[in-house]
Structure 1
């Protein structure tokens, strides 16, 4: 069943932006919104995360969990999702702690 999906990008290649606009609208630069099936959403995410380069992307879509949504990230970001007893929160990581992030329980960027 199709569901609302939101994808925010920063500095992604033009061919990725073109692929996203075939399936979603871009109400503001780098923000894509659409109603997608899970299969289309996952395929678009595969393309985005594989082509991210120096950019970054965040995907938010409905999920049957406590929060009601899932969060996926790709690329290097200062805001990092952290699993806190089953809830995904966002930690603002300073540059001096970038190397210590695995020890802090920060989830790695996901591609799938």
Structure 2
């Protein structure tokens, strides 16, 4: 049975965008929505995640869990998905939250 799938991308090569638009619509730049079977979704995600280059992507699709959906990411992300007792939660990447070293900044002056 086919289910709704949402894939968002950032800074991906043109051929990745082309692969996504063969199966999904793009209502907004970098956001793809479609009704895909699990097999097509898995094959498409494998192509997307293997071809990102410097870009990143997020895939959200229905799943048989408490939240009723699953979040997958590929490429560098500012946010990361963490599993907390079976729930997928989003946390900011610790590197992004790190305070700058004031001593190192003064040494540069």
Question: Could you say which TM-score interval applies, normalised by the shorter chain?
Answer: 0.7 to 0.9
The answer for the alignment partner of 1:84 in structure 2 is 84
Q: Which has the larger radius of gyration?
A: 2
Gaps of 5+ in 1: 99-112
The superposition leaves residues 15-56 of structure 1 with CA deviations (integer Å, 9 ceiling, x where unpaired) of 010010010000000000000000000000000000011100
1:1-112 matches, within 5 Å, as 1-95=1-95
Could you tell me the TM-score, scaled by structure 1's length?
0.84
Task: Give the deviation of 1:97 after TM superposition.
Answer: 6.6
Q: Distance in 2 between matches of 1:2 and 1:96?
A: 37
Question: Quick one: structure 1 residues 96 and 90, their matched pair in 2 at CA, closer, same or farther if it must change by over 3 Å?
Answer: closer
Gaps of 5+ in 2: 99-109
Could you tell me the TM-score, scaled by structure 2's length?
0.86
Question: Quick one: structure 1 residues 13 and 2, their matched pair in 2 at CA, closer, same or farther if it must change by over 3 Å?
Answer: same
Question: Quick one: structure 1 residues 97 and 32, their matched pair in 2 at CA, closer, same or farther if it must change by over 3 Å?
Answer: same
Instruction: Report how many aligned residue pairs link the two structures.
Output: 98
The answer for the alignment partner of 2:106 in structure 1 is none
